[in-house]
Amino acid sequence: MTPNILIVEAPFYPHISRLLMAGATEALHAAGAEYDSVAVPGALEIPPAIGFAVKGGGHGGRSYDGYVALGCVIRGETFHFDIVATQSARALTDLGVNYGLCIGNGILTVENEEQALVRADPARANKGAGAVNACLALIELKYRMGPHRER
Over residues 99-132, the pLDDT tens digits come to 999 999 999 999 999 999 999 999 999 999 999 9
CATH number of the domain within which 61 lies: 3.40.50.960
Average pLDDT score over residue span 26-41:
98
Whether residue 15 is contained in a domain is answered as: yes
Q: What is the pLDDT of residues 55-95, one digit of tens each?
A: 887 666 669 999 999 999 999 989 999 999 999 999 999 99
- CA atoms 115, 121, 123, 126: torsion sign: positive
Supply the pLDDT for residue 149. Answer: 53
Number of independent structural domains in the chain: 1
Q: 1: pLDDT confidence band, cut at 50, 70 and 90? A: confident
Supply the pLDDT for residue 59. Answer: 63
Share of the chain above pLDDT 70, in %: 93
Annotated catalytic, 80? yes
Q: Which of 15, 29, 59, 80 is catalytic?
A: 80
Question: Residue 86 sits in which domain range?
Answer: 4-145
Whether residue 137 is contained in a domain is answered as: yes
62 — phi, psi (to 5°)? Answer: -90, 145
- CA atoms 124, 128, 130, 132: torsion sign: negative
pTM listed for this prediction: 0.94
Which alpha helices (H) appear in 14-101, and where do they start and end?
Answer: 14-31, 46-55, 80-99
Q: 151: pLDDT confidence band, cut at 50, 70 and 90? A: very low
Whether residue 151 is contained in a domain is answered as: no
Cα 93 to Cα 98: distance, rounded to the nearest angstrom: 8
Whether residue 150 is contained in a domain is answered as: no
Average pLDDT score over residue span 18-36:
98
Cα 35 to Cα 132: distance, rounded to the nearest angstrom: 11
Whether residue 19 is contained in a domain is answered as: yes
